Chains A and B, each alone.
Chain A
Amino acid sequence: MRSWLENYLVPLLTVAAFVLIWQVAARRYPPEQFPAPSDVVLAIKELSDNGVLWTNIGISLARFAAAYLMAVVAGIPLGLFLGRFTRCHRAIDPLIQVLRPISPIAWFPLAVLWFGIGNAPAVFIIFLASFYPVLLTTISSVRGVPPVYLKVSTNFGAGAFLTFVRVIVPAAFPGIMVGLHIAVGTGWIHLVAGEMLGAQSGLGFMIVDARNFLRTDQVMAGMLLVGLLGLAIYKAMKTFEKAIGRRWGVAA
């Protein structure tokens, strides 16, 4: 009873209060400057009815999935390798430390130069935004494997391969999951940026396009959808994580 109240009712009331205040406040301004929630809902309906919305959502999700998968496929193996081989890590770490603080957005001019306009620059930016969290958490998870796990493995005579596959990877796994989680967040945030800068489709482009026509209601509709989709991806990730956690034998 109490958990239902705390988990659903109270958050729902908070959202309702927010929407109400927004609605009241918006009345004091012209809708082109500050649209009300009702205007935004109508804008979503309009975009949905003429099909623009669904096409753009589909494109954005596809770009995000492609870039995120590439980041995972590149980041995890590289992270496992660098986490295991301290010397290689030490050699390459300065390079990582210099490249990492450069915002993916700053790569945009080069990305357009190299890949042209279209999917590629946006995908490249999402890739960069997701890659570092995956790489760095994987490295630190491998390095953080408790020494006693390795001692046990050596003591029982497990070889390097068995130790890597059966001890280090599973021991690092929960930490890697955290990285995958962070990467979803940073990747999704940069999706909009990437699409605003150079793409001709997707949610980010939809927002820029609406601004050019002074459709503030559609700008907000785009923002709201980006938020909601981000939340949905986050939730899906959490569910996946819990299922994995149960299989891994760590208390969820």
Chain B
Amino acid sequence: MSETPVSKIQLRNVEKRFRSARGDQQIALSRLDLDIKAGEFVCLVGPSGCGKTTLINLMAGFEKPTSGSVLIDGEPVTAPNPDHIMIFQDYGLYPWRTVLGNVLFGLQARGVPAAQAREKALAALEMVGLSQSIDKHPHELSGGMKQRASIARALAVEPSVLFMDEPFAALDAFTRLHLQDELLRIWTETKPTVVFVTHDLDEAIALGQRVVLMAPQPGRIQKILEVKLPHPRERTEQEFATFRKRLFTEFHLVHQQAAAVEYQI
């Protein structure tokens, strides 16, 4: 491939419907377009049920669009791909494996020779600050450490895209802030494309170069906000507050619309 595609991830006219148990169709995502550049950090925010998980699952290949196209590197996404790793809110760590064993899993799946795999796994664990806990089992770790381990497992296979679906939502505020900073540091060092789902507006502004605000019923993009602040961001700065205000105003609109739709029914 000589020409590099304009977008790392390209969604065109994407629609996703689910058939409910009663048989009627529900439009989870409606005619959605989105372009994400290589190395970009994009946050998807929106109220619960607006289709954030559906959207990220489409990009990661866990779901197929009902219509429209999802391309990564110019190729249609048909299945999950070891070059695009998803990080889940509930970590998805294997309890019977140690931290190191979990990080090794992805490398073993790829058939990386044992010595080399170990080296890569240890480097990834070093990067997330878990070098002291490699022989522990997941149940011995705090929530924050578990998420670090699952990030290390992803980093070890050096993916070009990281999909993260509310990865810090279950953590306490202090751990969450800390992991946000850690994630930014790792992103700056390794520069993967990051698609980060959150329902926390502050988290979105702290992390994203762009914040995609979604609206429900049907799931769609309401507004894309460019956060032109350099990383690392000072959360207490004036400019940060300005972006925050803009996003909250938009979010408020989304809520009003959603409420209006509900009252009509």
Contact = CB atoms under 8 A, between A and B. Distances in A.
B128 interface: no
Contacts of A8: none
B82 A166 contact: no
B86 A249 contact: no
Contacts of A159: 109
Given A155-B60, A156-B105, A156-B106, A171 B90 contact: no
Interface string A144-181: 00001101111111110010001100110100000000
Given A156-B82, A249-B137, A249-B138, A148 B90 contact: yes
Most buried by A among B62, B84, B98, B109: B109
A155 B110 contact: no
Interface residues of B, number: 26
B94 A151 contact: no
A166 B86 CA distance: 19
B82 A155 contact: yes
Contact of A249 (B60, B80, B139): B139
Contact of B109 (A157, A171, A173, A250): A157
Contacts of B62: 151
Given A148-B90, A149-B92, A250-B96, A156 B85 contact: yes
A104 B68 CA distance: 58
Interface residues of A, number: 21
B210 interface: no
A249 B82 contact: no
A103 B92 CA distance: 41
Contacts of B109: 153, 156-159, 162
Contacts of A167: 94
A149 B109 CA distance: 14
A250 B97 CA distance: 10
A246 B67 CA distance: 49
Given A156-B82, A157-B109, A162-B108, A248 B92 contact: no
A251 interface: yes
Contacts of A251: 139
A249 to B, nearest CB: 3
Nearest to A170: B96
Given A148-B88, A151-B86, A250-B137, 6 more contacts: A154-B79, A155-B84, A155-B86, A158-B109, A159-B109, A251-B139
